[in-house]
A and B are shown apart, each in its own frame.
Chain A
Amino acid sequence: MRREEAWDALEQAGAMDAKVRPMGRWYALYGIGFGLTSMILLLIIGISDSVAGVVVGMTFYAIALSALVVYSTTRPVKPLGYNRLHLWGIGVWTPAYVTAVVVGSILFRGELLWWVPMAVLSAVPTSVVGLIVLRRSRSAQ
Protein backbone atom coordinates (compact mmCIF):
# COMPACT_ATOMS: atom_id res chain seq x y z
CA MET A 1 0.00 0.00 0.00
CA ARG A 2 1.28 3.46 -0.93
CA ARG A 3 1.17 6.51 1.35
CA GLU A 4 -1.52 8.17 -0.78
CA GLU A 5 -3.74 5.11 -0.47
CA ALA A 6 -3.27 5.12 3.30
CA TRP A 7 -4.23 8.80 3.43
CA ASP A 8 -7.31 8.09 1.30
CA ALA A 9 -8.37 5.25 3.60
CA LEU A 10 -7.90 7.44 6.69
CA GLU A 11 -9.91 10.23 5.10
CA GLN A 12 -12.64 7.76 4.23
CA ALA A 13 -12.75 6.54 7.84
CA GLY A 14 -12.90 10.15 9.06
CA ALA A 15 -15.74 10.96 6.68
CA MET A 16 -17.67 7.90 7.85
CA ASP A 17 -17.13 8.89 11.48
CA ALA A 18 -18.46 12.39 10.74
CA LYS A 19 -21.57 10.85 9.16
CA VAL A 20 -22.28 8.21 11.81
CA ARG A 21 -21.63 10.01 15.11
CA PRO A 22 -24.43 12.59 14.72
CA MET A 23 -26.87 9.70 14.16
CA GLY A 24 -26.62 8.86 17.86
CA ARG A 25 -27.64 12.34 19.01
CA TRP A 26 -31.20 11.20 19.60
CA TYR A 27 -30.04 9.85 22.97
CA ALA A 28 -29.67 13.42 24.23
CA LEU A 29 -33.41 13.93 23.70
CA TYR A 30 -34.14 10.58 25.31
CA GLY A 31 -31.92 11.20 28.34
CA ILE A 32 -33.21 14.72 28.98
CA GLY A 33 -36.80 13.59 28.27
CA PHE A 34 -36.46 10.76 30.78
CA GLY A 35 -35.04 13.16 33.36
CA LEU A 36 -37.84 15.69 32.86
CA THR A 37 -40.46 12.92 33.06
CA SER A 38 -39.04 11.79 36.38
CA MET A 39 -38.90 15.39 37.65
CA ILE A 40 -42.54 16.08 36.72
CA LEU A 41 -43.67 12.78 38.28
CA LEU A 42 -41.98 13.58 41.59
CA LEU A 43 -43.35 17.14 41.59
CA ILE A 44 -46.91 15.89 41.00
CA ILE A 45 -46.64 13.20 43.69
CA GLY A 46 -44.88 15.45 46.20
CA ILE A 47 -46.84 18.65 45.81
CA SER A 48 -50.30 17.03 45.56
CA ASP A 49 -49.69 14.77 48.59
CA SER A 50 -52.80 12.75 47.72
CA VAL A 51 -53.87 9.46 46.13
CA ALA A 52 -55.30 11.41 43.19
CA GLY A 53 -51.89 13.02 42.71
CA VAL A 54 -50.20 9.63 42.65
CA VAL A 55 -52.71 8.34 40.08
CA VAL A 56 -52.28 11.42 37.86
CA GLY A 57 -48.50 11.26 38.24
CA MET A 58 -48.27 7.55 37.43
CA THR A 59 -50.61 7.92 34.43
CA PHE A 60 -48.44 10.73 33.09
CA TYR A 61 -45.34 8.66 33.78
CA ALA A 62 -46.70 5.56 32.02
CA ILE A 63 -47.61 7.55 28.90
CA ALA A 64 -44.33 9.48 28.79
CA LEU A 65 -42.21 6.40 29.47
CA SER A 66 -44.02 4.40 26.78
CA ALA A 67 -43.36 7.19 24.28
CA LEU A 68 -39.67 7.28 25.26
CA VAL A 69 -39.32 3.49 24.97
CA VAL A 70 -40.94 3.47 21.51
CA TYR A 71 -38.72 6.38 20.48
CA SER A 72 -35.51 4.67 21.64
CA THR A 73 -36.30 1.22 20.21
CA THR A 74 -37.05 2.65 16.78
CA ARG A 75 -33.75 4.59 16.48
CA PRO A 76 -31.56 2.76 13.96
CA VAL A 77 -28.19 3.87 15.36
CA LYS A 78 -27.14 3.45 18.98
CA PRO A 79 -24.44 5.92 20.02
CA LEU A 80 -20.94 4.81 20.90
CA GLY A 81 -20.80 3.42 24.45
CA TYR A 82 -24.62 3.25 24.56
CA ASN A 83 -24.96 0.23 26.88
CA ARG A 84 -22.49 1.49 29.46
CA LEU A 85 -23.82 5.05 29.46
CA HIS A 86 -27.47 3.97 29.60
CA LEU A 87 -26.82 1.59 32.48
CA TRP A 88 -24.90 4.31 34.33
CA GLY A 89 -27.74 6.82 33.86
CA ILE A 90 -30.48 4.45 34.99
CA GLY A 91 -28.25 3.01 37.72
CA VAL A 92 -27.74 6.44 39.30
CA TRP A 93 -31.33 7.58 38.69
CA THR A 94 -32.90 4.54 40.42
CA PRO A 95 -31.54 5.13 43.97
CA ALA A 96 -32.17 8.89 43.64
CA TYR A 97 -35.80 8.28 42.66
CA VAL A 98 -36.40 5.55 45.25
CA THR A 99 -34.86 7.72 48.00
CA ALA A 100 -37.03 10.67 46.98
CA VAL A 101 -40.24 8.63 47.07
CA VAL A 102 -39.59 6.44 50.11
CA VAL A 103 -38.02 9.06 52.40
CA GLY A 104 -40.38 11.79 51.11
CA SER A 105 -43.54 9.73 51.69
CA ILE A 106 -42.48 8.86 55.24
CA LEU A 107 -40.82 12.05 56.49
CA PHE A 108 -41.61 14.94 54.14
CA ARG A 109 -45.17 14.59 52.90
CA GLY A 110 -46.20 17.74 51.06
CA GLU A 111 -42.95 19.55 51.89
CA LEU A 112 -41.71 21.45 48.85
CA LEU A 113 -38.24 21.83 50.34
CA TRP A 114 -37.81 18.08 49.97
CA TRP A 115 -39.75 17.31 46.79
CA VAL A 116 -38.52 20.14 44.53
CA PRO A 117 -34.76 19.56 45.02
CA MET A 118 -35.23 15.78 44.82
CA ALA A 119 -37.30 16.16 41.64
CA VAL A 120 -34.51 18.24 40.09
CA LEU A 121 -31.88 15.77 41.34
CA SER A 122 -33.72 12.84 39.75
CA ALA A 123 -33.55 14.60 36.38
CA VAL A 124 -29.77 14.98 36.52
CA PRO A 125 -28.32 11.46 35.83
CA THR A 126 -29.95 10.66 32.48
CA SER A 127 -29.74 14.31 31.38
CA VAL A 128 -25.99 14.27 32.02
CA VAL A 129 -25.68 11.06 30.00
CA GLY A 130 -27.68 12.70 27.21
CA LEU A 131 -25.31 15.67 27.21
CA ILE A 132 -22.27 13.36 27.19
CA VAL A 133 -23.65 11.60 24.10
CA LEU A 134 -24.32 14.97 22.47
CA ARG A 135 -20.76 16.10 23.17
CA ARG A 136 -19.28 12.85 21.88
CA SER A 137 -21.35 13.10 18.72
CA ARG A 138 -19.52 16.31 17.90
CA SER A 139 -15.99 15.09 18.60
CA ALA A 140 -13.87 13.63 15.84
CA GLN A 141 -12.49 10.09 15.94
Chain B
Amino acid sequence: MNHPRSRLDEVIHSPVRFSVVAALASAGQIEFRVLRDLVEVSDSVLSKQIATLEEAEYVGVTKFRVGRRTRTSLALTPQGRKAFTQHVQALRDIADGVELPLPDAD
Protein backbone atom coordinates (compact mmCIF):
# COMPACT_ATOMS: atom_id res chain seq x y z
CA MET B 1 0.00 0.00 0.00
CA ASN B 2 1.68 3.20 -1.16
CA HIS B 3 -1.16 5.68 -0.79
CA PRO B 4 -0.73 7.94 2.26
CA ARG B 5 -4.25 7.01 3.40
CA SER B 6 -2.76 3.69 4.54
CA ARG B 7 -0.71 5.68 7.08
CA LEU B 8 -3.73 7.33 8.68
CA ASP B 9 -4.16 6.28 12.30
CA GLU B 10 -7.51 4.52 12.79
CA VAL B 11 -7.78 5.61 16.43
CA ILE B 12 -7.15 9.29 15.68
CA HIS B 13 -9.13 9.31 12.42
CA SER B 14 -12.55 9.71 14.09
CA PRO B 15 -13.55 13.44 13.96
CA VAL B 16 -14.04 13.91 17.72
CA ARG B 17 -10.89 12.01 18.62
CA PHE B 18 -8.96 13.97 16.00
CA SER B 19 -10.09 17.23 17.63
CA VAL B 20 -9.23 15.92 21.09
CA VAL B 21 -5.75 14.84 20.04
CA ALA B 22 -5.18 18.06 18.05
CA ALA B 23 -6.04 20.09 21.17
CA LEU B 24 -3.81 17.99 23.42
CA ALA B 25 -0.96 18.19 20.89
CA SER B 26 -0.90 21.97 21.36
CA ALA B 27 -0.58 21.85 25.16
CA GLY B 28 1.18 20.00 27.94
CA GLN B 29 -2.05 19.21 29.79
CA ILE B 30 -5.67 20.28 29.48
CA GLU B 31 -8.42 19.89 32.08
CA PHE B 32 -11.41 17.82 31.08
CA ARG B 33 -13.96 20.67 31.28
CA VAL B 34 -11.84 22.95 29.07
CA LEU B 35 -11.24 20.17 26.54
CA ARG B 36 -14.99 19.46 26.46
CA ASP B 37 -15.67 23.13 25.62
CA LEU B 38 -12.92 23.22 22.99
CA VAL B 39 -14.17 20.12 21.22
CA GLU B 40 -17.82 21.13 21.74
CA VAL B 41 -19.16 17.78 22.90
CA SER B 42 -20.96 16.55 26.01
CA ASP B 43 -19.20 15.10 29.06
CA SER B 44 -20.32 11.58 28.19
CA VAL B 45 -19.17 11.76 24.56
CA LEU B 46 -15.78 13.11 25.61
CA SER B 47 -15.41 10.46 28.34
CA LYS B 48 -16.09 7.71 25.80
CA GLN B 49 -13.56 9.08 23.31
CA ILE B 50 -10.97 9.58 26.03
CA ALA B 51 -11.45 5.96 27.13
CA THR B 52 -10.69 4.82 23.57
CA LEU B 53 -7.59 7.03 23.39
CA GLU B 54 -6.49 5.85 26.84
CA GLU B 55 -6.92 2.24 25.78
CA ALA B 56 -4.68 2.91 22.76
CA GLU B 57 -2.18 4.48 25.21
CA TYR B 58 -2.36 7.78 23.34
CA VAL B 59 -3.71 9.80 26.28
CA GLY B 60 -2.84 9.80 29.97
CA VAL B 61 -5.42 10.82 32.58
CA THR B 62 -4.48 12.44 35.90
CA LYS B 63 -6.91 13.18 38.70
CA PHE B 64 -6.01 15.68 41.42
CA ARG B 65 -7.71 17.71 44.09
CA VAL B 66 -7.86 21.51 44.21
CA GLY B 67 -9.61 22.45 47.45
CA ARG B 68 -12.76 20.34 47.63
CA ARG B 69 -12.95 19.66 43.91
CA THR B 70 -11.44 16.77 42.03
CA ARG B 71 -10.11 17.78 38.65
CA THR B 72 -9.21 15.61 35.71
CA SER B 73 -6.32 16.55 33.51
CA LEU B 74 -5.45 14.99 30.17
CA ALA B 75 -2.20 14.81 28.27
CA LEU B 76 -0.88 13.08 25.18
CA THR B 77 1.57 10.27 25.85
CA PRO B 78 4.78 10.15 23.77
CA GLN B 79 3.11 7.41 21.65
CA GLY B 80 0.05 9.61 21.18
CA ARG B 81 2.16 12.59 20.13
CA LYS B 82 4.09 10.43 17.66
CA ALA B 83 0.88 8.93 16.25
CA PHE B 84 -0.62 12.41 15.80
CA THR B 85 2.51 13.70 14.05
CA GLN B 86 2.42 10.73 11.64
CA HIS B 87 -1.32 11.14 11.10
CA VAL B 88 -0.91 14.84 10.28
CA GLN B 89 1.93 14.02 7.90
CA ALA B 90 -0.29 11.48 6.13
CA LEU B 91 -3.03 14.14 5.88
CA ARG B 92 -0.52 16.61 4.41
CA ASP B 93 0.59 14.02 1.87
CA ILE B 94 -3.03 13.30 0.89
CA ALA B 95 -3.76 17.03 0.64
CA ASP B 96 -0.65 17.55 -1.50
CA GLY B 97 -1.44 14.52 -3.67
CA VAL B 98 1.79 12.78 -2.66
CA GLU B 99 2.18 9.05 -3.14
CA LEU B 100 5.13 7.08 -1.82
CA PRO B 101 7.23 5.39 -4.52
CA LEU B 102 6.68 1.68 -4.96
CA PRO B 103 9.48 -0.45 -3.49
CA ASP B 104 12.08 -1.74 -5.96
CA ALA B 105 11.34 -5.12 -7.53
CA ASP B 106 14.64 -6.53 -6.27
Contacts and interface: CB of A to CB of B under 8 A. Distances in A.
21 contacts: A1-B91, A6-B92, A6-B94, A6-B95, A10-B88, A10-B95, A13-B25, A13-B91, A19-B38, A20-B26, A20-B27, A21-B26, A21-B27, A23-B27, A24-B28, A77-B27, A77-B29, A77-B30, A78-B27, A83-B28, A141-B26
A132 to B, nearest CB: 13
Contacts of A19: 23, 38
A9 B18 CA distance: 8
B31 A76 contact: yes
Interface of B: 5, 8, 18-19, 22-23, 25-31, 33-34, 38, 66, 73, 75, 88, 91-92, 94-95, 97
B22 A17 contact: yes
Contacts of B25: 13, 17, 141
A32 B27 CA distance: 20
Contacts of A77: 27, 29-31, 34
A77 B37 CA distance: 13
A10 B66 contact: no
A19 B75 CA distance: 16
Contacts of A81: 28
Contacts of A6: 91-92, 94-95
Interface residues of A, number: 27
Nearest to A21: B26
A73 B94 contact: no
Given A73-B66, A76-B34, 10 more contacts: A1-B91, A6-B95, A12-B19, A13-B18, A17-B26, A19-B38, A77-B30, A77-B31, A78-B75, A80-B28
Contacts of B91: 1, 6, 9-10, 13
Contacts of A9: 18, 91
B22 A12 contact: yes
Interface in A1-33: 1-3, 6-7, 9-10, 12-13, 16-17, 19-21, 23-24
A86 to B, nearest CB: 9
B66 A76 contact: no
A79 B28 contact: yes
A3 B18 CA distance: 17
A77 B66 CA distance: 14
